[in-house]
Amino acid sequence: MYHALYRKYRPLDFGSVVGQDPIVKTLKNSIINMNYSHAYMFFGPRGTGKTTLSKIFARAINCLDSKDGEACGKCDSCINSFSNDCIDIIEIDAASNNGVDEIRELRNKISLVPSQLKYKVYIIDEVHMLSIGAFNALLKTLEEPPEHAIFILATTDPQKVPDTIVSRCQCFSFMKISQEALVERLNYVCKQEKIKIEKEVIDKIALLSDGGLRDALGFLDKMVSYTSEKITMSDFNDVNGYISDDELDSFINDLLSGSIDKVLVSINNFNSSGKNLIQIVVQLINYIRNVIVDYYLKKTNINYSIDLYQDLINLFNENLINMKKSDNTKIYFEMLILKFINDKKLTEIVDIQQNSIPVDKKNSDDTTTIISNFDDNKVFLKEVEEEQNIEEVEESVEEKKEVKNSKSKTTDVKENNSVDEDVPKILNIDEVMKIRINNTFATATKPILKNILSCFEKLRDYTFDQDFGFIVCSLLDGTVRTAGKDSFIISYESDALVKSNLSNLLKLENTFNKINDLNYKIAIISDDEWNTLKEKYIENYKNNISYDIIEEPELIFEESNKNDIISSSAVELFGSDIVEVE
């Protein structure tokens, strides 16, 4: 008769137990020193060895010739204790024997001396399932047990066991078995059984078994039954209703970029192909967890805000139990995703395939893709298929005109390294902003936006700088919406902030360009204005209306009176006849 792998490879001695070394050491020492407790409690996750160690311990304490705490396996007591007919090692399932009558019957029999062994050992599995009356009936027995009786209580939920019971036991907390130990044990079993399996499959089994060796061997057993050939990741995904890592990556990118249609289609395809949506959510949790850990420990680059990843994994964790209870898991999953996208305002203006929008007739090969993924002044980028630097973006649609011999005041300010110089008011600021916004839309691409966002991350190093701190904080208070070849759009929550930052426009530009060694112009608008512009962009796209490059005019500054302010004020008040200025 075929035996399941978890039964066939169940440890028979302390040396074969996996991942519970401190407990094994303690129990072996108690045997060596003949120092037994009358009651033990083993608690911990399922499949970690509680019942197995209970049986090993029960045999070892009855061995007549134990060596280093291990049962010899040869004496009469060992032969009897290893037999299925042994009547002195009693295993009770508390889940099906949880009433007062069963415990009373146990109390009546416990006074009987062992028939074959030195100690009569009672192993009560899932003891937390006992009723209150049964616990009360057991309490007196645990308090004053016979000399020949030893109790071992095993449970996965110790919180449900009354404190009066726990306090009378020597308690051992079983840990989840580490992934390394699980992999080692799985490799051993595969070698013994001559199972051909990909290393990636073993790693995946160890990960998804969540520290339980029984579950890991159960996974392996199922795969052996599925195919007699080499077990591959494709086989593993098919049998267990999982999806591949590529599908996980694509699903996460679609979700965080706000592509609702793609996300819903993916969920429908998973469900139609018989995938287990609960298991897919578990996969997503593990996937996002790895992204977050790699970000913090290995400093890996990510395509979206780390806060967004953390919010998403919290959402899945909090709703996993409710999903399992739901009558329709698919609908629950879909509504959960939609709520997340809407709550986070992951609104994608448009995701355009190459050459789908006529940007400028002189440069029809350019691809314009404007992405606006935002949440609390954070911008989340959709993954681009090919990484590009800003230097790789094609030249602008129109060639820049010759710079006039006499430089404008704008150029003079930008060449000045100082960000503290007072700049007069710009009279044509509204016109300039409209043209910059238009030109930004006309030349915007994902790589440019990604580059600008990385520049903003660099600004954070200067928030406490004596020269740049105030201006840097003003930049970081806004949300970068989109970026073109020569300019980018940044929005602020209130009109007051917009007005304040427009008055410091040149300082903002000088600071940003000086820190990042660039030459960019900034368009400043409010969040409400951005929403309006976004809707207009979508409407223009639907009507096949392009954005053409418009030449930006020179800034016109308000003339300032450079006379001495005290003298000027005096003349205005008293007249030039009275006030004499030396």
401: in domain: no
Look at strands 89-93 and 39-43 and give their pairing.
Answer: unpaired
Domain co-membership, 443 together with 529? yes
For the cut 90, the answer to whether the pLDDT of residue 487 exceeds it is yes
CATH assignment of the domain containing 272: 1.20.272.10
Task: Supply the pLDDT for residue 491.
Answer: 93
400: in domain: no
Domain co-membership, 338 together with 352? no
Domain co-membership, 67 together with 162? yes
Identify the weakest region by mean pLDDT among 15-24, 151-160, 401-410, 489-498.
401-410
393: in domain: no
Cα 120–chain centre separation:
50
* Domain-terminating residue out of 240, 257, 290: 240
Give the pLDDT band (50/70/90) at residue 1: low
DSSP 240-305: HT---HHHHHHHHHHHHTT-HHHHHHHHHHHHHTT--HHHHHHHHHHHHHHHHHHHHHS----SS-
> Phi, psi (5° rounding) for residue 377?
60, 30
For the cut 60, the answer to whether the pLDDT of residue 255 exceeds it is yes
Q: What is the mean pLDDT of residues 112-117?
A: 83
Task: Supply the pLDDT for residue 394.
Answer: 39
Task: Measure the CA–CA gap between 73 and 31, rounded to whole angstroms.
Answer: 15
Task: Measure the CA–CA gap between 125 and 344, rounded to whole angstroms.
Answer: 47
- Convert the pLDDT of each residue in 424-442 to its tens digit: 788 888 999 999 999 998 8
Domain co-membership, 166 together with 186? no
Q: What is the mean pLDDT of residues 394-418?
A: 38
Task: Supply the pLDDT for residue 411.
Answer: 38
Identify the weakest region by mean pLDDT among 461-465, 554-558, 576-580.
576-580
For the cut 50, the answer to whether the pLDDT of residue 201 exceeds it is yes
Beta strands in 335-486, from DSSP E residues, in sequence order: 479-483
* Domain-terminating residue out of 149, 173, 197: 173
In degrees, rounded to 5, the angle at the alpha carbon of residue 220 between the alpha carbons of residues 8 and 18 is 60
H-helix or E-strand containing 91? strand 89-93
Average pLDDT, the chain: 79
Domain co-membership, 334 together with 475? no
449: in domain: yes
569: in domain: yes
Domain containing 555 equals 347-383+406-582
Find tokens 């300082």 and name the residue.
507
Find tokens 């006849």 and name the residue.
577
Domain co-membership, 317 together with 229? no
Task: Supply the pLDDT for residue 183.
Answer: 92
% of residues, the chain, pLDDT over 90: 15
532 vs 101, residue with greater confidence: 532
For the cut 80, the answer to whether the pLDDT of residue 417 exceeds it is no
Domain co-membership, 140 together with 35? yes
Q: What is the mean pLDDT of residues 473-488?
A: 90
Find tokens 């390394």 and name the residue.
180
| Torsion sign across C-alpha atoms 237, 242, 246, 247 | positive
Domain co-membership, 439 together with 379? yes
Give the pLDDT band (50/70/90) at residue 346: low
* Domain-terminating residue out of 240, 264, 282: 240
Q: What is the mean pLDDT of residues 454-469?
A: 83
Tokens of 102: 């069963």
Task: Supply the pLDDT for residue 419.
Answer: 44
Based on the number of CB atoms within 10 Å of its own CB, is 115 exposed (0-12), middle (13-18) or buried (19 or more)? exposed
Task: Supply the pLDDT for residue 373.
Answer: 38
Task: Measure the CA–CA gap between 184 and 442, rounded to whole angstroms.
Answer: 58
Question: What pairs with residue 379 in β-bridges?
Answer: 374
- Convert the pLDDT of each residue in 16-48 to its tens digit: 888 888 999 999 899 888 888 888 999 988 888
162: in domain: yes
Q: What is the mean pLDDT of residues 88-109?
A: 82
571: in domain: yes
Give the pLDDT band (50/70/90) at residue 520: very high
Q: Please give the tally of structural domains in the chain.
A: 4
Give the pLDDT band (50/70/90) at residue 575: low
Based on the number of CB atoms within 10 Å of its own CB, is 361 exposed (0-12), middle (13-18) or buried (19 or more)? exposed
For the cut 50, the answer to whether the pLDDT of residue 350 exceeds it is no
Domain co-membership, 144 together with 59? yes
Domain co-membership, 326 together with 369? no
Residue 244 CB partners (closer than 8 Å, separation 6+): 233, 234, 237
Domain co-membership, 333 together with 369? no
For the cut 60, the answer to whether the pLDDT of residue 403 exceeds it is no
Give which of 321, 314, 322 is closest to 284, Cα–Cα. 314
397: in domain: no
Task: Supply the pLDDT for residue 560.
Answer: 59
Tokens of 170: 């020597």
Domain co-membership, 103 together with 221? no
For the cut 50, the answer to whether the pLDDT of residue 409 exceeds it is no
Task: Supply the pLDDT for residue 577.
Answer: 52
Give the pLDDT band (50/70/90) at residue 414: very low
CATH assignment of the domain containing 88: 3.40.50.300
